[in-house]
Amino acid sequence: MHFQPGGRNAYDRGRLVIRIDWDDFPLDLYGDRKTALRLTTTERHPSRRRGNDTWTDTPERPLHKQLGEIFTFIEQWADLLLAQRERERQQELERRRKRDLAEAEAGKQFAEQFRRKTIAARISEVAFAEDARAYAQALAASADGLEAGRSAEVKAWASWITRYADAVDPLLTMAGMPQVPNPSRDDLREFLPRGHWY
């Protein structure tokens, strides 16, 4: 707590600053020949829509005898601010928790979609490999009626097709669970709730 005195002329004025933790609670002291000395908060109390709190020096209640009441009021104000910050902190933690859950769920859905696409792609590769082998077998059979040099060229091509089909056939390569890539923000966007910040 510290006091900043104002100029000494026809007025009594200054500022009393009470600090609790990291909060400052300034009160202005003012009085003149026609106005009683009074202390007024310069910050508005959170529970008030307008106006500031004032304590006035009167013969019945001198200002110095109201200091206990003033300090109690400031302490309660500080407690209110601490409670408000704690509520805001808890709300932020809850927002983060919900955001983390939503992003984790989005990650699971992305992984499932990636695996479904992999299954579809491998089914297509199996069909392609079977068709390619059937085509290579028919091509090789057809080459028997060609002249020797041309027949050898066609059969070499048919042999390459068969080897390639075997190399890409998931049933022969025994491909296992695909490695899901790390999703980007754009990858996850379609799985996140509308308005989700990410």
Closest CA to 191 of 122, 105, 84, 132: 105
Lowest mean pLDDT across 2-6, 145-149, 177-181, 192-196 = 2-6
Q: What pTM does this model have? A: 0.61
pLDDT exceeds 80 at position 10: no
Return the residue matching tokens 């060229």. Answer: 153
Look at residue 3 in the predicted model and tell me its pLDDT: 42
**Residue boundaries of the structural domains of the chain:** 2-87, 105-189
Distances from the Cα of 137 to the Cαs of 19, 61, 84, 193, in angstroms? 91, 112, 79, 53
Q: What pLDDT band is residue 24 in, cutting at 50, 70 and 90?
A: confident
pLDDT exceeds 90 at position 114: yes
Q: Which residue has the higher pLDDT, 41 or 172?
A: 172
Look at residue 164 in the predicted model and tell me its pLDDT: 96
**By percentage, how much of the chain surpasses pLDDT 90?**
43
pLDDT in tens, 28-38: 888 876 778 88
Mean pLDDT of the chain: 86
pLDDT exceeds 60 at position 9: no
**By percentage, how much of the chain surpasses pLDDT 70?**
88
Look at residue 50 in the predicted model and tell me its pLDDT: 66
